[in-house]
Structure 1
Amino acid sequence: MSPKRQREEGSTAEGDKGDKGQKPQKEEVAHPRKRFYRARAHSNPLNDASFDVPTRPEDYDWSEHYPELMAEWRERQAAAGAAAAAAGGAGAEGAASGAEEAPAVRFVDIGCGFGGLLIKLATHYPDTLMLGMEIRDKVTAYVRERIAALRRESPGSYRNAAVLRTNAMKYLPNFFRKGQLTKMFFLFPDPHFKAANHRRRIINTQLLTEYAHLLAPGGWLYTISDVPELGEWMKSKLDGHPLFERVSEEELERDVAAGLLALSSEEGQKVARNGGATYRNVYRRLAQPRPQE
């Protein structure tokens, strides 16, 4: 046998011995790259783009977005049904009255962009279903792939986060019932500087009434902007609405979500890099309207 062949076979054998004591390497998960999903910064929410929306919230199947959680819920329902059937009669009625409600979305990030806030919220609130809503198709596709990659990389995590492409200014009531939500986020929305386009702003009196309908009493509505005029606009609209009251700075210091507003999103990080200021306004949904002056 030639010396060269002896060296090659010897190194192979030594490698086999070393491999036996090594742990299997963790599979690398490919994450989507933003440069392949770039789109215009903003989209006109009043255009006539067609979206597939349910007639009412009860008609929408959330299994596509939260497959593991919905499958587990169905298994529990089946087990409870089997136990009730075995108990018979009164036992079945008791089981039916105490049936577990289906998991429901509680947090919504309107105009979620590339999903920075959504991803951070998912780890801080692992037992809460949350949804990002985005009107741009490429950006929505990026967030969807990002969440899928994170789920593969960390099994059991991020299964409470999902994204949906739709027009939130038009179709929120098609997806959520009255009082379903506990947190709504509006991070760095389009300022629509021209006065003729102010009706496109995501925070206005009419839409705030809709948000109040969907928020549970005590629920929080979060806004932040790097545009002083828009920050003041949102503050004035919320101050003037009878179903919202401003959350104190002391409460905000103790709130995890409030601390994520400025730096979780791509837009917020860009503002920070440029040394810009931000204007944060967070409000609580009141159970009863405030007396009007």
Structure 2
Amino acid sequence: MEPPKSNNSARLPRKRFYRARAHSNPLSDSHFPVPITPSQVDYSYHFPYFFPSEGTSDSNGMAIDQKIRFADIGCGFGGLLVGLSILFPDILMIGMELRDKVTEYVKERILALRAANPGHQYENISVVRTNSMKYIPNYFEKGQLLKMFFLFPDPHFKEKNHRRRVISPHLLDEYAYALQVGGIIYTITDVEELGEWMRSCLEDHPLFEAIAEEELKVDQVVKLLASATEEGQKVARNGGQTFRAVYKRIAVAH
């Protein structure tokens, strides 16, 4: 939850000025810059407090992991990033969003939160407009990520459009590449058929293993899956049901 703003705090952007279509076609071509390799990701742009540009002051020497470790795929309006930032202030994390207006909103939201809160809060989160179904290897090295999030993705109901789903057997190969052994994929949806699809894809993949319910009960991230995002809050207001699948990256199949 975002803390209350002081009288001199920056004003948060209003979502109604950044509304866009609920989903975009992930197979269409879009025009935005993409790094050729993960080494070209500009950390000083995304996290200026921790990675000052040349000629700017040092970052106060704060200890922080030097690479992005969490990725929120299809981050929407950034609610999960905001919640995770408070829980993990020393972890760099990024949201990946295809819709330009929504990406711009998240950028403005993060800048406003940084300005409104003392102690350099929210400096560890950022967002990039990109197509994660095409460019995951351009952003992350092998085994770089600790957590990946897929919250309320587009269900693409028609069978001919299942190839557009963000969880699929071939895409899980790329996610397995980006996740370190022990890294976790979190998925949730309010569409039962999609929930079964995502669970089935993960269950059948040789590099993922379901996490026991006992472990999920003590995972402080799990409660955010259904509550942090606009989609999750809408489902809760309407009394809807959610379907969750959380899997761990393993070295080899048992």
TM-score under structure 1 normalisation?
0.80
Match of 2:22 among 21, 41, 50: 41
Whole-angstrom distance in 2 between the partners of 1:274 and 1:102:
39
Q: Helix, strand or coil: the match of 2:184? A: strand
Whole-angstrom distance in 2 between the partners of 1:143 and 1:230:
26
* 1:93-172 superposed matches below 5 A: 103-155=66-118, 156-172=120-136
In percent, how many aligned pairs have the same letter? 59
Match of 1:211 among 170, 175, 180: 175
Whole-angstrom distance in 1 between the partners of 2:41 and 2:230:
30
Post-superposition Cα deviations, 1:61-103, rounded to whole Å, max 9, x if no partner, equal 211110001129x9779x9xxxxxxxxxxxxxxxxxxxx9971
Whole-angstrom distance in 2 between the partners of 1:101 and 1:129:
8
- What amino acid maps onto 2:9 in structure 1? E
2:37 pairs with 1:56: yes
8 Å CA contact retained: 1:252, 1:259: no
Paired residue for 1:8? none
Q: CA deviation at 1:51?
A: 2.4
Unaligned regions of 5+ residues in structure 2, if any?
Answer: 1-5
Unaligned regions of 5+ residues in structure 1, if any?
Answer: 1-24, 80-99
Whole-angstrom distance in 2 between the partners of 1:101 and 1:265:
26
Paired residue for 2:3? none
Would the alpha carbon gap of residues 102 and 256 (structure 1) be closer, same or farther in structure 2, given more than 3 Å must change? closer
Would the alpha carbon gap of residues 47 and 238 (structure 1) be closer, same or farther in structure 2, given more than 3 Å must change? same
Q: Helix, strand or coil: the match of 1:261? A: helix
Match of 2:149 among 177, 185, 188: 185
Post-superposition Cα deviations, 1:101-129, rounded to whole Å, max 9, x if no partner, equal 97110000000000000000000000000
Whole-angstrom distance in 2 between the partners of 1:145 and 1:238:
34
Whole-angstrom distance in 2 between the partners of 1:101 and 1:65:
14
Post-superposition Cα deviations, 1:152-181, rounded to whole Å, max 9, x if no partner, equal 011310000001000000001001100000
CA RMSD of aligned residues (A): 2.1
- What amino acid maps onto 1:272 in structure 2? A
Match of 2:221 among 257, 261, 265: 257
8 Å CA contact retained: 1:188, 1:224: yes
Work out the number of aligned pairs and report it: 245
8 Å CA contact retained: 2:69, 2:93: yes
2:235 pairs with 1:271: yes
2:250 pairs with 1:286: yes
Whole-angstrom distance in 2 between the partners of 1:111 and 1:235:
18
- Give the helix-richer structure, 1 or 2: 1
- What amino acid maps onto 1:203 in structure 2? I
Would the alpha carbon gap of residues 227 and 43 (structure 1) be closer, same or farther in structure 2, given more than 3 Å must change? same
Whole-angstrom distance in 2 between the partners of 1:193 and 1:117:
25
8 Å CA contact retained: 2:65, 2:92: no
Q: Helix, strand or coil: the match of 2:135? A: helix
Q: CA deviation at 1:28?
A: 3.1
Q: Helix, strand or coil: the match of 1:212? A: helix
